[in-house]
Amino acid sequence: MTERVKVEVRRSGRRFEAEAVLDLAADELTVWQTITDYAALPRFMPGIRACRVIERRALADGGEQLVVEQQGEFRLLVLAQSMDVLLDIEHRPLRMAQAKARRFALGPLKTRALEAFEGRYDLAPGAARGRSPRTELRYTALIALRLPPPPAVGSMAVRQNLAAQLEAIAGEVARRAARSSRGGR
Span 15-28, pLDDT tens digits = 999 999 999 999 99
DSSP state string for the chain: --PPP--EEEEETTEEEEEEEEEESS-HHHHHHHHT-GGGHHHHSTTEEEEEEEEEEE-TTS-EEEEEEEEEEEEETTEEEEEEEEEEEEEETTTEEEEEEEEEEEGGGBTTSEEEEEEEEEEEEPPPBTTB--EEEEEEEEEEESSPPPTTHHHHHHHHHHHHHHHHHHHHHHHHHHHHHTT--
Q: How sure is the predictor about 99, in pLDDT bands with cuts at 50, 70 and 90?
A: very high
Q: How sure is the predictor about 1, in pLDDT bands with cuts at 50, 70 and 90?
A: very low
Mean pLDDT value of segment 71-91: 84
Q: What are the angstrom distances between the C-alpha of 29 and each of 7, 99, 133, 184?
A: 24, 19, 11, 15
Give the pLDDT confidence score for residue 140 in this predicted structure.
Answer: 98
Over 50: is that where the pLDDT of 86 sits?
Answer: yes
Q: How sure is the predictor about 5, in pLDDT bands with cuts at 50, 70 and 90?
A: confident
Mean pLDDT value of segment 164-185: 88
Give the pLDDT confidence score for residue 117 in this predicted structure.
Answer: 92
Name the least confident of 9-13, 52-56, 80-84, 138-142: 80-84
Class of domain 8-181: alpha beta
| Better-predicted residue by pLDDT, 47 or 113 | 47
Q: pTM, whole model, 2 decimals?
A: 0.89
Name the least confident of 3-7, 52-56, 110-114, 162-166: 110-114
Over 60: is that where the pLDDT of 2 sits?
Answer: no
Over 70: is that where the pLDDT of 90 sits?
Answer: yes
Mean pLDDT value of segment 152-174: 88
